[in-house]
């Protein structure tokens, strides 16, 4: 190898293999066996069949899909709105950016603890509801699920805001000046100038939030513990429950692989549809 610069990336490749690829191969091996039994044996696709016939799996999948759809419908429009409102506002950018990004700096566990304190009996959230003549408690499935949604939105709207704000500043002001001279409406300006300019950042934000929503665990565990009942038991919570609490290694490994390929397929379809098959690297 004449170019020695490529040698510098070898340590990173080795870390990637041990941190990503090696664990995946182990999980794939477990998914075709009964790994934690006294006599591990190869069972073929039996674990995958058990997962696909499991009502618990489908309930968790449906719950996660609904959760993902709701947070995308909340976080992306609000984050984009904040980014559009402060575009070109000078000093206002620094003030608003500082306030908005603060939640994203809080660790996952701390977010769960904070919202647990906010929503406990006698906490600020129940008191606020009582002020308006309403009752709030985490002990009902609907309240627990929507609290999880609000907590996630509060935590991650800042990420959407930051990425889209960075993309907006790359659009030349001359485009907006020309649109104003031509008499374009605000909607036309947004549709034909702003939206194409932030298209790829918007797709990236969409993918990041989908992936993050499917692996949400820490905040959920601390806030609701998957309850009441199974009302907030998302896929990541379901997998950890099966693999660690119930010690069903083969089942949880097969569920993890199905889970992984479902997210990969979903992301691929989104990229293909929104880029019309060109991919993220084509401009």
For 3-40, what is each residue's pLDDT tens digit? 677 778 888 888 888 887 888 888 888 888 887 776 77
Taking CA atoms, 45 is separated from 37, 52, 225, in Å, by: 17, 11, 31
Between 144 and 43, residue with greater pLDDT: 144
> What is the pLDDT, as a whole number, of residue 279?
63
> What is the pLDDT, as a whole number, of residue 62?
93
For 152-172, what is each residue's pLDDT tens digit? 999 999 889 988 988 888 888
The answer for residues whose C-beta is within 8 angstroms of residue 215's C-beta and 6 or more apart is 236
- SS3 string of 247-266? CCHHHHHHHHHHHHHHHHHH
Place 63 in a pLDDT band, splitting at 50, 70 and 90. very high
Alpha-carbon span 157 to 179, nearest angstrom? 29
Average pLDDT, integer, range 208-231: 88
> What is the pLDDT, as a whole number, of residue 61?
92
For 122-138, what is each residue's pLDDT tens digit? 889 989 889 888 888 88
Q: How much of the chain, in percent, has pLDDT values that exceed 90?
A: 22
> What is the pLDDT, as a whole number, of residue 184?
83
Q: Would you say residue 68 has pLDDT above 90?
A: yes
Average pLDDT, integer, range 134-151: 90
Q: In the CATH scheme, what is the homologous superfamily, with its name and number, of domain 56-274?
A: MetI-like (1.10.3720.10)
Structure tokens belonging to residue 261: 């390929």
């Amino acid at each position: 190898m004449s170019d020695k610069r490529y040698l510098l990336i070898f340590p990173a490749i080795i870390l990637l293999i041990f941190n990503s690829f090696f664990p995946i191969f182990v999980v794939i091996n477990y998914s075709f066996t009964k790994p934690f039994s006294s006599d591990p044996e190869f069972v073929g696709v039996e674990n995958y069949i058990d997962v696909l016939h499991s009502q618990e799996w489908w309930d968790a999948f449906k719950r996660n899909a609904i959760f993902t759809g709701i947070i995308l419908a909340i976080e992306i429009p609000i984050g984009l709105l904040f980014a559009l409102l402060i575009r070109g506002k000078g000093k206002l950018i620094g003030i608003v950016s500082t306030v908005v990004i603060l939640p994203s700096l809080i660790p996952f566990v701390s977010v769960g603890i904070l919202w647990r304190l906010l929503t406990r009996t006698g906490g600020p959230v129940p008191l606020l509801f009582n002020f308006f003549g309403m009752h709030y408690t985490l002990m009902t499935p609907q309240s627990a699920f929507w609290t999880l949604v609000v907590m996630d939105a509060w935590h991650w709207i800042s990420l959407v805001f930051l990425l889209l704000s960075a993309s907006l500043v790359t659009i030349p002001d001359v485009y907006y000046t020309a649109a104003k001279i031509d008499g374009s409406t605000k909607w036309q300006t947004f549709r034909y100038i702003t939206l194409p300019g932030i298209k790829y950042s918007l797709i990236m934000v969409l993918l990041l939030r989908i992936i993050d929503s499917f692996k949400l665990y820490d905040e959920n565990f601390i806030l609701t513990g998957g309850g009441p009942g199974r009302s907030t038991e998302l896929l990541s919570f379901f997998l950890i429950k099966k693999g660690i609490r119930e010690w069903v290694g083969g089942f949880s490994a097969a569920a993890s692989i199905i889970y992984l390929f479902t997210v990969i397929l979903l992301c691929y379809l989104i990229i293909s549809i929104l880029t019309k098959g060109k991919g993220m690297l084509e401009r």
